[in-house]
Structure 1
Amino acid sequence: MIVILILLSACSSKGDEVLQGPGGVTTPTISILAPLHFPQQPSKDIIAEMERLSGVKLDIRWVPEGVYTDKMNTGLTTNSLPKVTFVKFTDYNLVKNAIKSDAFWEIGPYLQQFPNLGKLSPSILNQAAVEGKVYGLYTERPSSRQGIIIRKDWLSHLKLAPPQTLDELYEVMRQFTYNDPDGNGKQDTFGLVDRNDLVYGVFKTLSSYFGTPNNWKQENGQFIPEFVTPEYMDTMNFMKKLYDEKIINQDFALTSKEVQRDKFIRGTAGVFIGSMTDVQRLSIEAKMVNPQAELALINRIEGPQGYKVWSIPNYFGLYLFSKKAIVTEQELLQVLSFFDRSLDKDVSNLMMYGFEGRHYSLEDGKVILPEGTSRLRVDEVSPLYSLMIASVSNTNILEVSQKEQLTALADQLSKDNEQFLVDDPTVHLSSQTYDEKNVELSVIIVDATYNYILGNLTETGFQQEVKRWKHNGGSQMIQEYNEAAKALN
């Protein structure tokens, strides 16, 4: 710890990198590009306390999640990223070439110098490694939080049971569209609200209910992309039926996450498929519009192959460290020192729960999160979650004795998902073609999927697009994954 304190007080060689503090002590400035998943930025008081405890000045550049990828990519292409940049798991392939080109620090050799960073999970670090080298600090997450958030009061009004199968889910969404679930005498609702995201929107979770592989399927030693399977086609046909019958918002292919949430909050739609951990925040905001609104959670929908849900690697994203913005090894150690300090008990609990007495209370050493301060936590504390590394396994974070009911249920059902996960068999494999061309190639399949659902493409037309994907590099990608798997055996 003495080494860390010395590092944090050390002067930088660049004059604009430090601030003069009391008594002439210099304070390192750490610039961070981070996604904002909430309507507002976190409390400035909490940020100030984080700075006081860790001995740094934080220059956090919050970017709304809906445009984060574009902002991050612009900084990458213009070589103007700050010292620390968050990269979402789904965008990781965008930066791998930059990593290989030495644009970011390899931090693996430094981690053991720090008491907390040295204890990070080797398994998760290796999941995110590039050519066996560690470049990022991971934000941690369960294997699957996917499920259904549904208007419980609408189910009650229509005397419907929560759906347990795909057929029942369709019928509930149909009645939410045509049977006046809010009782206002108008046909002004629809069953399902989606957004322009085939992964974290509706499509991928729905496809796993149909039994679609998670990105890839390995069969007889060969890799098969998910979109050539019958189950993927079944999912597209189901979505097309919802679209044709106007059970889903007709502009879903163009809808942002913010607009999707707003339609659900305002009672325009009754089913939201995505991360179940969104339920508490959605419930708070829905009750502000309609105090009678009640939400429920469902994680088990039985499909043709039983219960299935897609899984993800245990990191949501990584914090990478720019070599242009962090010129010296000494500066890198200052920045890593801040992240190490963020895992200590005082800082991590501040980021997780806020201020004792304002956002939570303590009883017998456990945290109590009163329902009455739930909105305050959403507004002032929750946006900080995206800054927290290794939060799931950090034993310094206090246990919650009394959670909000919906939050506790979301956690419980996320654990239940572990019983029927569908893993991606290529997670530990590498393909040069994937790293270099997947962004370009995935556009072919994304566009073809949307166009099929919207009726602009026939099944034959969709298969032609698959052939184009293969011709433009997909076949080479398959071959590389096959060879990588054989090399491991």
Structure 2
Amino acid sequence: MAHAALDIARGITMIEEKPNRPGSLLKRTAFFLIIAIVCASCSGKPKADPAAGKDDRTSISIMAPLHFPHPPSDEIIAQIEALTNTTLDINWVPDGIYTDKMNTSLTTNSLKKATFVKHTDYIFIKNAIRSDSFWEIGPYLEQFPNLRHLDADILAQAAVDGNIYGLYTERPSSRQGVIIREDWLDRLGMNKPATLDELYEVIKQFTVNDPDGNGKQDTVGLADRNDLVFGAFKTLSSYFGTPNNWGLSASGNELIPEFETKPYKDTMNFMKRLYEEKLINADFAVTSKEVQRDKLIRGAAGVYIGSMTDVQRLSDEAKQINPEARFALVNRIQGPAGYRVWSIPNYNGLYLFSKKAIRTEEELLDILAFFDRSMDKDVANLLRYGILNKHYTLSGQSVVLPEETSQLRVTDVGALYTLMIADLSNPNVLEAAEKETMWELAERLSADNEKFLVKDPTIGLESKTYDEKSMELYKIVSDATYNYILGHLSESGFDEEANRWRREGGNEIAKEFMDAYFMK
């Protein structure tokens, strides 16, 4: 059924109209009426089964991360189902525990039909992909009017052994930056930081100089969490000049892991100083993102280093507690090598399709048809902005986002962003004429980051040892990094852990990446 309209479209091209032939108008009218009826059955509206009294909706189970306090409203889900002719069973999993839940589903062979896999977790799924646990979808994309136009470069970045398995959610190369309580800066007479030294001073003064004016020393400068990648560490590390995962040696003939470089150690020493001087939450090594965010929202901390687009939610929720709370964004922090910021490939994650949950090619095509339909104008803008005249209005062909519906959009619509395929390059998504100020600023500064990106030279390269051992090897480095910052490990102890990483598989990974890199 997913291809009925496509089949008829092909049939149309085979018909030769003869307008002067008697009865041709009646025949053409009847023919196109048939076409309209069949196309309507694929349009996304439920089609009743006259015999059974039931509709023929496609049932789709989905596992997706929840980045907001609540799942989207039932009203919007119902509209999506009606438009796409589906029944959706979406398992919204809080982002902080998503990786663990996804891995559990994988090991227990209980994946949903469509499962979102974060870019940072994709490496751990590749063995399952190679074991034929997921459908290869590349050969089917040309059959769909939207999916056939997905970006070939991004698909190649996420390919496994040259084959395409996932539909990607799109993102800029880097949204990383610094979110700061601007009202605290004003109260202390400070400017937004522009260098690492100035950033340290802001963090310090936010801790020791009563930035909230309550007469108590009850704030901490930086709130961080147990994430060396999307928490503060990696962004700070790029400011210090650390390569992005791997860097070329001075001779240019060897790839060096980032943690063996001086800037990486400089970053550890910076974090160690913040910890020893109590300028960061003491439990950062075990703090979740939800708790980290709560410190900013409640006014217990004033600096957040990570995705700048988090600022809108932080600002909205902080103002509910303290209407005077104001936030500022900084994306340019000058370090020893100038402006630098780490980047990721242009996909934030992928939807993969389980062969255990999806038994037939026909069912796979129906599910791909749902994602293709989700890129059409009506569904894409419902996912992005919500319901017209409830969550947003239109000015010509531009979306207007009223300030008074801001919180309603967060509650009803926010989480749906994760379902959008290739949204940044989808021409069917309307532009917003009046974007929310903080979100607009975050997007503009993310675009500015493109001018000084630090890219990972191994993106798109294959290393079987990395695919097999990266999880256990990464734990060696992450544990050593945290233990050094917390004062439980000396520099020589850290170096020994780095050597252990090499002995237990790191050398093989480096060789395989180098072989692939120099063969490009």
Q: Deviations over 1:202-260 (max 9, x none)?
A: 00000000000000002322100000000000000000000000000000000000000
1:132 corresponding residue in structure 2: 162
Kindly indicate whether residue 331 of structure 2 is the aligned counterpart of residue 299 of structure 1: yes
8 Å contact kept, 1:8–1:55:
no
1:407 corresponding residue in structure 2: 439
8 Å contact kept, 1:7–1:337:
no
> 2:161 and 2:455 mapped to 1: Cα distance?
22
1:25 positional shift: 3.5
Kindly indicate whether residue 190 of structure 2 is the aligned counterpart of residue 168 of structure 1: no
8 Å contact kept, 2:41–2:47:
no
> 1:60 and 1:101 mapped to 2: Cα distance?
26
> 1:456 and 1:352 mapped to 2: Cα distance?
46
1:321-400 to 2 correspondence within 5 Å? 321-400=353-432
> 2:49 and 2:478 mapped to 1: Cα distance?
52
2:31 corresponding residue in structure 1: none
Q: Deviations over 1:349-401 (max 9, x none)?
A: 00000001111110011000111111111111010001111000000000110
**CA 1:345 to 1:335, structure 2 compared with 1: closer, same or farther past 3 Å?**
same
Q: Secondary structure at the match of 2:425?
A: coil
> 1:55 and 1:297 mapped to 2: Cα distance?
42
Kindly indicate whether residue 277 of structure 2 is the aligned counterpart of residue 276 of structure 1: no
Kindly indicate whether residue 116 of structure 2 is the aligned counterpart of residue 86 of structure 1: yes
Equivalent of 2:60 in 1, 24, 30? 30
2:171 corresponding residue in structure 1: 141
8 Å contact kept, 1:81–1:325:
yes
> 1:21 and 1:470 mapped to 2: Cα distance?
62
Equivalent of 1:197 in 227, 238, 247? 227
Equivalent of 2:188 in 158, 183, 202? 158
8 Å contact kept, 1:369–1:400:
yes
> 2:49 and 2:260 mapped to 1: Cα distance?
61
2:70 corresponding residue in structure 1: 40
Letter in 1 for 2:189: K
> 1:187 and 1:25 mapped to 2: Cα distance?
63
2:245 corresponding residue in structure 1: 215
Letter in 2 for 1:336: L
2:4 corresponding residue in structure 1: 3
**CA 1:92 to 1:380, structure 2 compared with 1: closer, same or farther past 3 Å?**
same
Q: Deviations over 1:397-424 (max 9, x none)?
A: 0011011111111111000000000000
Kindly indicate whether residue 460 of structure 2 is the aligned counterpart of residue 439 of structure 1: no
Q: Deviations over 1:164-187 (max 9, x none)?
A: 000000001100000000000000
> 1:116 and 1:382 mapped to 2: Cα distance?
23
TM-score (norm 2): 0.91
8 Å contact kept, 2:228–2:234:
yes
Letter in 1 for 2:170: E
8 Å contact kept, 1:154–1:182:
yes
> 2:262 and 2:124 mapped to 1: Cα distance?
30
1:416 corresponding residue in structure 2: 448
Gaps of 5+ in 1: 11-17
> 1:477 and 1:237 mapped to 2: Cα distance?
27
1:19 positional shift: 11
TM-score (norm 1): 0.96
2:107 corresponding residue in structure 1: 77
Q: Deviations over 1:240-298 (max 9, x none)?
A: 00000000000000000000000110000000011111111110000011111000100
1:24 positional shift: 3.8
2:95 corresponding residue in structure 1: 65
1:485 positional shift: 1.3
Equivalent of 1:114 in 137, 144, 168? 144
**CA 1:415 to 1:276, structure 2 compared with 1: closer, same or farther past 3 Å?**
same
1:482 corresponding residue in structure 2: 514
> 1:450 and 1:21 mapped to 2: Cα distance?
60
Letter in 1 for 2:198: E
2:12 corresponding residue in structure 1: none
**CA 1:428 to 1:382, structure 2 compared with 1: closer, same or farther past 3 Å?**
same
The RMSD of aligned alpha carbons is 1.6
Q: State the structure with more CA Rg.
A: 2
1:229 corresponding residue in structure 2: 261
Q: Secondary structure at the match of 2:57?
A: strand
Q: Secondary structure at the match of 1:26?
A: coil
> 1:181 and 1:128 mapped to 2: Cα distance?
45
Q: Deviations over 1:99-146 (max 9, x none)?
A: 000000000000000000000001100000000000000000000000
> 1:98 and 1:231 mapped to 2: Cα distance?
35
Gaps of 5+ in 2: 7-37
> 2:443 and 2:61 mapped to 1: Cα distance?
32
> 1:456 and 1:156 mapped to 2: Cα distance?
38
**CA 1:342 to 1:245, structure 2 compared with 1: closer, same or farther past 3 Å?**
same
2:81 corresponding residue in structure 1: 51
Letter in 1 for 2:366: Q
Kindly indicate whether residue 252 of structure 2 is the aligned counterpart of residue 251 of structure 1: no
2:20 corresponding residue in structure 1: none
1:325 positional shift: 0.5
8 Å contact kept, 1:42–1:383:
yes
1:8 positional shift: 11
> 1:173 and 1:486 mapped to 2: Cα distance?
43
1:260-275 to 2 correspondence within 5 Å? 260-275=292-307
8 Å contact kept, 1:8–1:334:
no
> 2:370 and 2:120 mapped to 1: Cα distance?
26
1:20 positional shift: 7.6
**CA 1:297 to 1:265, structure 2 compared with 1: closer, same or farther past 3 Å?**
same
8 Å contact kept, 1:19–1:28:
no
> 1:24 and 1:183 mapped to 2: Cα distance?
64
> 2:516 and 2:126 mapped to 1: Cα distance?
18
Kindly indicate whether residue 456 of structure 2 is the aligned counterpart of residue 455 of structure 1: no
> 2:454 and 2:208 mapped to 1: Cα distance?
34
**CA 1:427 to 1:53, structure 2 compared with 1: closer, same or farther past 3 Å?**
same
Q: Secondary structure at the match of 1:337?
A: helix
1:179 corresponding residue in structure 2: 209
8 Å contact kept, 1:9–1:26:
no
Letter in 1 for 2:482: Y
> 2:423 and 2:5 mapped to 1: Cα distance?
21
